[in-house]
Amino acid sequence: MPKVTVIIPAYNIEGFVSETIQSVLDQTYKSYEVIAVNDGSTDNTLSVLKRFEPQIKVLTKSNGGPASARNLAIKNSRSEYIAFLDSDDLWIEDKLEEQVGFLDQHPEIGLLYSEAWMFTEENGEKKVQNKIGYTGDPRFCQLLYGDYIPNSTVVVRRSCVDQVGLLNEKRELIAVEDYEYWMRIAKNFTIAGIPRPLAYYRLRQGNLMGDGSNIDKGLNLVLVAIGEVEKLFPQMWEECGIDRNQLFARLQVRAGFAWKQQGAWKECLSKFAKALTYSRGPRVFRWIIAATLLKRWS
């Protein structure tokens, strides 16, 4: 029985998924199985996936979003560890080796992730942009401030899935279903991050980090994800010592700062005004002033 199941949900991704799968097949660690789920693609994604059989297992279903695709793969998996990989991202060749070794040595850790490089690709040339993934103090309360866990770096224990359940398949959570899942796991298990990039996150038009046009969409999705977790853990604000309204105000200021960076002052000021509807405390005003004047703020 393989020790790791690698789960790849795939939807209309014929141009990228081959390289993604190859980055798994090139891993130095070999005790794994790969389950790729074609989520109702209308292009040639399914044909591309099938070229890799029998090295990988290919499942296909009607379109339901990445959470439903990952859940189908989890139900068909049989390993101790479950690793997630988006269908356009890439793994560094010793990614599994390092993470499996870490989990074996730290049985108290339920979810393990790492930093990742963000990259673009033009005319076949990859250009690394910067790093993502905060590993300094990973815990549930920190996740309320934003998702610092790169999805394609995550490995979870099956015991986490057995206790927490599967991913939330609600359509309104598409693009943050992973964030909502990390929060649920972190509320019940210790999580850890490796301060080294073990994956490459592809920046392209259509994904949340791909361009600046998704600032408002990204903000709204974060609020939806937090709202879902809040239903399960209504005491989380008191337990974490976090002022709910002040946090939501900070998220609005953060979005306003992002708009300012693009020179979109109308949208920027709209977000600052929205922040003040959550809280008019002095800290919020200081955030707005800092976000207005500084070149870097978060």
Distance CA 237, CA 235 (A): 6
Distance CA 239, CA 211 (A): 35
pLDDT value of position 126: 87
* Domain ranges for the chain: 4-212, 243-293
3-class DSSP state of 103: helix
pLDDT value of position 298: 79
Distance CA 203, CA 183 (A): 24
- For 14-31, letters b (16+ CB in 10 Å) and e give bebbeebbebbeebebee
The domain defined by 4-212 folds into: Spore Coat Polysaccharide Biosynthesis Protein SpsA; Chain A (3.90.550)
pLDDT value of position 122: 85
Q: How far is CA 113 from the centre of its chain?
A: 10
pLDDT value of position 242: 98
pLDDT value of position 209: 47
pLDDT tens-digit readout, 132-162: 999 999 999 999 999 999 999 999 999 999 9
pLDDT value of position 35: 98
* Residues 248, 223 contacting (CB under 8 angstroms): yes
